[in-house]
Amino acid sequence: MGVKSVNEKAVEVEGLSYRYPDGTPALRDINMRVTAGETVGIIGPNGAGKTTLLLHLNGVLRPTAGAVRVLGREVTARNAREVRSEVGLVFENPDHQLFMPTVFEDVAFGPLNQGVGREELGEIVGEALSKVGMEGSEQRPPHHLSLGERRRVALATVLAMKPRILVLDEPLAGLDPRGRRELMELIASLPGTKVIASHDLEMVLRLCGSVFVLDGGQIVAEGPTARLLSNQALMENHGLEVPASLRRTHYKTG
């Protein structure tokens, strides 16, 4: 494999529009670029279109207009399976991702469908579970796990496929403070390109170098995370609030 350019585009979205089957518009003329190795946030009020946008990044949904390119390849119906091996999507609700009788079978499901031999599965599953701090849970039923544990296993199901791009939808939703902190630290430690949609703006501030603000199915602002999240008018105009840590910094320096 050749040396990658430091400016290689991991994700390129051009003129993306999408309408639901009943004709309701969900996304309108979305343009965004994510450089390889970058961590970006997508924020916005409920109903802004964040999840719908994420579902286009690995071909779960197809644009009504425009295009999505991943690592230089346009996402199409013909190559969606290959794209999904490069773009790992972790859903907001881990129960949408965990459906097998045991943790081992859930984490092994993706690699098996990629053609990995059964003799390699134990090592792959063990490595993925170790990365998320869930080693030793292979034979546990997923529905017996706590929400935080299910979120970790859902992440492991994606990591087992060794994607180059990780897409996370509300990864900290519903967690208690300790679980939130631990999972945030885990996400921060993972290498590669990350796209994170979240209402947790403190997490976005900590993990994401840049951010896209989505509202009404359109990108209304983009730029460095701290600059945008400290813009009170921008935040209020789009149903958001300046994170408490930035408000405290403002009061100390203002």
- Which sequence spans correspond to the domains of the chain? 9-253
3-class secondary-structure state, position 33: strand
| Three-state secondary structure string covering 147-186 | HHHHHHHHHHHHHCCCCCEEEEECCCCCCCHHHHHHHHHH
Positive/negative CA dihedral, 115, 11, 88, 190: positive
Task: Give 231's contacts (C-beta < 8 A, 6+ positions apart).
Answer: 221, 242
CATH code for 9-253?
A: 3.40.50.300
- Which tokens in the block code for residue 197? 């949609």
The amino acid occupying position 31 is N
What confidence tens digit (pLDDT) does each residue in 82-97 have? Answer: 898 899 999 999 999 9
**Burial group, residue 195, by CB count within 10 angstroms (0-12, 13-18, 19+):** buried
**pLDDT by position in tens, the chain (length 254):** 344 445 789 999 999 999 999 999 999 999 999 999 999 999 999 999 999 999 999 999 999 999 999 999 999 989 988 898 899 999 999 999 999 999 999 999 999 988 888 888 999 999 999 999 999 999 999 999 999 999 999 999 999 999 999 999 999 999 999 999 999 999 999 999 999 999 999 999 999 999 999 999 999 999 999 999 999 999 999 999 999 999 865 544 44
pLDDT at 3: 42
Diameter over CA atoms, the chain = 61
Q: How far is CA 240 from the centre of its chain?
A: 20
Task: Give 160's contacts (C-beta < 8 A, 6+ positions apart).
Answer: 107, 108, 110, 111, 124, 125, 127, 128
CA dist 110 and 160 (Å) reads 7
